[in-house]
Amino acid sequence: MRFDELVRSGGPVVTAEFPVVDTDMAALVRHADRLRGWADAVNVTDNTAAHAHASNVAVAVALRGLGLEPIMQVACRDKNRLALQADIVGAALHGVRAVCCLTGDDVTAGDEPQARRVFDLDGPQLIRVACALAEGRYLSGRAIDPAPELLVGAVENPGAPPYSHRVDRAAKKIRAGARFLQLQICYHPDRLAAFMAGAARAGLTSRAAFLPTICLVKGAGGLRFMNEKVPGISVPAETIDRVEKAADPSRAAYELALAQAGHALSLPGVRGLHLVDFRGGDAVPRLLSDLRISRRLTA
Amino acid sequence: MSQGPVTSPGPVTSPDPVTSPDPVTSPGTAGHRAVAAVEHAVKGPVFDCRMCGQCVLHSTGMTCPMTCPKTLRNGPCGGVREDGRCEVDPSMRCVWLRAFERSRRLPWRGHFTDLRPPVDNRLAGSSSWINLLTGRDRRTPPGWQP
Ligand code: SF4
């Protein structure tokens, strides 16, 4: 089933983060082959963590050519409204249907902190603009014929302050037109549970597919990195400690992800998962089988 | 190889109606600049106003969103630190956290979650007071339908 149809159908969804690539097309094909077996769609990042890489449009188009369903992330940090619209429409020309709208980390989070930050639009505005494109018009009002077929989504971080406002922010994104929300990895199960309960209460979970992120890391180092270096992610010291002091830290890291995934799937309104795999090997198929998620992909 | 015909940029939607050349309400005129100077003198010290010319303080807990390093109008971003400090500038508290807290004490707090349209960059430096009176601050591109 096409990813946009799957999201609209209400069935379970598993998405994955596509690893960053630069110029190695063979690596891109290898990653695509690995993910093809279990991901309904794969997120193509847009200069993730404010580091330059092969562009989101180029990678999304390549994956489309390889028969995968790309979710093209579009961030507000590097481009103004003209460039953002051009990217979405240009990718749609090649059959890229799903876009995920982000505000984006600041340039200071990356390796070129000297860069000018743009943020001409913000995340919710970009969602609205992408929906306008799907309705057949640019922000200026100029018609696009035929209108691109787009499924517009976004991200939200249930684990960042102000916690009690995050459901309202998700609601704003859904009002703007987001039909799926990939949730930032959250190492505080209570925050994710409160967020999902609020989203279900507000009637949001029937209007958009909520997909909490699960990160598969190799050990405590990965957790510490996220805690220290990734904006908006906090990993409790006890969690890092528990993995670090375990007899088999790699296994403990896997079990942490499995427990997080099981907890996320038990929450009301969660439609599936977004998986970020830093372990490689058979980690993801094993996770899905341990969670008893069967994959019937028809890509 | 032929270069092909020069393509037209497509149908152009009607340009913004030219603001009336009124000596006070038209941005850029001496009258407008004088009002903008007064506005800045009043709002600068109180709100750290950045003179975007399309004031939304009433719906953002009287906190200027242009002081957010990402200039987000619909914030807070996902990078707010655990202790409430800003992702970009850890020496300050997240502007949107402050906006959220202050907005809850206002009788019209419902507007906090409004979807605010993209900034019209042409209005930077002009007086939002005059733009409010003339309705110029509420004019959005035709494709923006909230
Ligand atoms: S943390 Fe707050 S003030 Fe800083 S960039 Fe994000 S929204 Fe703006």
The secondary structure of chain A, three-state, reads: CCHHHHHHHCCCEEEEECCCCCCCHHHHHHHHHHHHCCCCEEEECCCHHHCCCCCHHHHHHHHHHCCCCEEEEEECCCCCHHHHHHHHHHHHHCCCCEEEEECCCCHHHCCCCCCCCCCCCCHHHHHHHHHHHHCCECCCCCECCCCCCCEEEEEECCCCCCHHHHHHHHHHHHHHCCCEEEECCCCCHHHHHHHHHHHHHCCCCCCCEEEEEEEECCCHHHHHHHHHHCCCCCCCHHHHHHHHCCCCHHHHHHHHHHHHHHHHHHCCCECEEEEEECCCCCHHHHHHHHCCCCCCCCC
Region label for A170, one of left (φ > 0), alpha (ψ between -120 and 50) or beta (otherwise): alpha
From CA A69, how far away is CA A272, in angstroms rounded? 16
Cα–Cα nearest to A32, from A44, A18, A21, A45: A18
Query: How would you class A266 by CB atoms within 10 Å of its CB: exposed for 0-12, middle for 13-18, buried for 19 or more?
Result: exposed
Contacts of B32 (CB under 8 A, 6+ apart): B23, B24, B25, B26, B126, B127, B130
Token pair 């349209």 is at which residue? B117
Nearest to A165 among B77, B100, B116 (CB): B100
Asked if A173 and B146 count as a contact pair (C-beta separation under 8 A), the reply is: no
> Looking at residue B20, what is its pLDDT?
52
Farthest-apart Cα atoms in chain A, separation: 62
Q: Which residue has the least CA distance to atom 8 on ligand 1?
A: B68
From CA A122, how far away is CA A131, in angstroms rounded? 14
From CA A177, how far away is CA A130, in angstroms rounded? 9
Tokens of B113: 């979650």
Query: With contacts defined as CB-CB under 8 Å, which chain A residues touch B54?
Result: none
pLDDT tens column, A171-208: 999 999 999 999 999 999 999 999 999 999 999 999 99
**ipTM of the prediction greater than 0.85, yes or no:** yes
How many other CB atoms are found less than 10 A from the CB of residue A258? 16
B15 pLDDT above the threshold of 50: no
From residue A122, how far is each of A102, A104, B22, B125, B146 by CA, in Å? Answer: 8, 9, 33, 21, 14
> Looking at residue A31, what is its pLDDT?
95
Query: With contacts defined as CB-CB under 8 Å, which chain B residues touch A125?
Result: 73-74, 115-118
Residues within a 6 A CB radius of ligand 1: B 68-70, 72, 75-77, 79-80, 86-88, 94-96
Query: With contacts defined as CB-CB under 8 Å, which chain A residues touch B112?
Result: 168
> Looking at residue B11, what is its pLDDT?
47
Residue B114 Cα, gap to closest chain A Cα (Å): 8
A251 pLDDT above the threshold of 80: yes
A267 pLDDT above the threshold of 90: yes
Region label for A47, one of left (φ > 0), alpha (ψ between -120 and 50) or beta (otherwise): left
State the distance from the centre of ligand 1 to the C-alpha of B85, rounded, in angstroms: 8
CATH class belonging to A3-290: alpha beta
Q: Which residue has the higher pLDDT, B31 or A71?
A: A71
pLDDT tens column, A204-236: 999 999 999 999 999 999 999 999 999 999 999
Judge whether A79 is closer than 8 Å to chain B, CB to CB: no
> Looking at residue A13, what is its pLDDT?
95
DSSP per position, chain B: ----PPPP--PPPPPPPPPP--TTTSTTSHHHHHHHHHHHHHHHHHH-----SS--GGGTTT--GGGSTT--SS---TT--TTSB-SS-TTSB-HHHHHHHHHTTSTTGGGGG--PPPP-GGGTTS-HHHHHHHTGGG---TT---
Most B CBs within 10 A among A79, A116, A125, A157, hence the mutation to make, goes to: A125
Nearest to B79 among A120, A121, A231 (CB): A231
A10-A13-A15 Cα angle (round to 5): 145
From CA B56, how far away is CA B140, in angstroms rounded? 14
The residues in A 247-286 lying below 8 A from B, measured between CB atoms, are none
Residue A58 Cα, gap to closest chain B Cα (Å): 24
pLDDT tens column, B39-80: 787 777 777 887 888 888 888 888 889 899 999 999 899 999
Cα–Cα nearest to A220, from A260, A186, A249: A249
State the distance from the centre of ligand 1 to the C-alpha of B72, rounded, in angstroms: 8
A187-196, A254-263, B3-12: which range is least confident on average?
Answer: B3-12
- Inter-chain touch B87–A143, beta carbons under 8 Å: no
Name the pLDDT band for A282 (thresholds 50, 70, 90). Answer: confident
- Inter-chain touch A143–B115, beta carbons under 8 Å: no
Cα–Cα nearest to A239, from A230, A231, A284, A255: A255
Q: What does the mean pLDDT of chain B come to?
A: 82
State the distance from the centre of ligand 1 to the C-alpha of A26, rounded, in angstroms: 39
How many other CB atoms are found less than 10 A from the CB of residue A203? 11
Query: With contacts defined as CB-CB under 8 Å, which chain A residues touch B85?
Result: none
Query: What's the average model confidence in pLDDT over A266-286?
Result: 94
Q: Are strands A272-277 and A180-183 parallel, antiparallel or unpaired?
A: unpaired
> Looking at residue B109, what is its pLDDT?
73
From CA A13, how far away is CA A7, in angstroms rounded? 7
Query: What's the average model confidence in pLDDT over A250-255?
Result: 97
Using CA of residue A119, residue A137, residue A127, residue B141, what is the dihedral sign? Answer: positive
Residue A107 Cα, gap to closest chain B Cα (Å): 8
Judge whether A124 is closer than 8 Å to chain B, CB to CB: yes
Q: Which residue in A has a C-alpha nearest to residue B72's C-alpha?
A: A122
Cα A231 to chain center, whole Å?
A: 15
A145-159, B38-52, B89-103: which range is least confident on average?
Answer: B38-52
Q: Which residue in A has a C-alpha nearest to residue B77's C-alpha?
A: A103
Residue B21 Cα, gap to closest chain A Cα (Å): 24
State the distance from the centre of ligand 1 to the C-alpha of B91, rounded, in angstroms: 12
Query: What's the average model confidence in pLDDT over A131-136?
Result: 98
Share of chain A above pLDDT 70, in %: 98
> Looking at residue B21, what is its pLDDT?
60
pTM: 0.92
